[in-house]
Amino acid sequence: MTDPATPAAVTIVDHPLVQHKLTIMRKRETSTAGFRRLLREISQFLAYEATRGLPLTLTRIETPLCEMDAPMIEGKKLVLVSILRAGNGLLDGILELVPGARVGFVGLYRDPETLKPVQYYYKVPDELEDRMVIVVDPMLATGNSSVAAVDLLKASGARNIRFMCLLAAPEGIKRMQEAHPDVPIVTAAVDDHLNDHGYIVPGLGDAGDRMFGTK
């Protein structure tokens, strides 16, 4: 049990490959196809950190030389929950690494006036209490959607939740840590601030628009 006074860790994946790819994603001129490919690539580096601590079970196998008990992860013990729609840009890359993972979706959009999340879809696997849940959304901005998604998952029984994003704003991290101090955050960078429209600065713009070409 995490001490509420000490929020779970924020891990910044500062590996040069991640930082280089992120810089290309930030550039205004990067194409939709390039943005999507880079997001998929970075998602795998982020997932490497976010899945740290996934339980391993020893399985009897035979190498060319002898038998041994070797560690394996149980993919179905992992649930990836995408906050629609931009979260989907992180999903496929992680599923390549853990093909057996279960997948849930939370549909939330930001009311442009209040910046508060409005729920329109919620579908997650059952028995969440027995699984590690990684919530994915590229942008941790105000934190309102992320907090709302984690609220819903906890109400469904999830107890072991992690949050994975590409970029975070200090405001979003603070909000998440206040609401859910037990949820570790994995991100590629923490940017400077949010602007009046709730966009991360310097950021990369609207992640959904950039990955799907809707602008």
Q: Radius of gyration (Cα) for the chain, nearest Å?
A: 18
In whole angstroms, the minimum distance from the beta carbon of 185 to ligand URA comes to 15
Tokens of 196: 């009046």
Determine if the peptide bond prior to 175 is cis (ω within 30°).
no
Q: Is 209 a catalytic residue?
A: yes
**How big is the CA angle at 69 (ends 64 and 75), to the nearest 5 degrees?**
105
Nearest residue (CB) to ligand URA, 78 versus 86: 86
* Residue of 11, 26, 182, 206 with catalytic role: 206
171 belongs to the binding site for ligand URA (CB under 6 A)? no
Binding to ligand URA (CB under 6 A): which residues in 135-164? 139, 141
203 belongs to the binding site for ligand URA (CB under 6 A)? yes
In whole angstroms, the minimum distance from the beta carbon of 86 to ligand URA comes to 6
Q: Is 110 a catalytic residue?
A: yes
Q: Which stretch binds ligand URA (CB under 6 A): 49-57, 77-85, 154-162, 202-210?
A: 202-210
Tokens of 206: 């609207």
In angstroms, the CA 123 to CA 92 distance is: 18
Instruction: Give the 3-state secondary structure of residue 159.
Output: coil
199 belongs to the binding site for ligand URA (CB under 6 A)? yes
Tokens of 133: 């849940």
Tokens of 167: 């970029």
In angstroms, the CA 87 to CA 200 distance is: 16
Binding ligand URA (rule: CB under 6 A), the pick from 54, 200, 202, 211 is 200
Name the residues annotated as catalytic. 110, 114, 206, 209
Which residues of the shown chain bind ligand URA in the complex (CB under 6 A)?
Answer: 86, 139, 141, 198-200, 203, 206-208
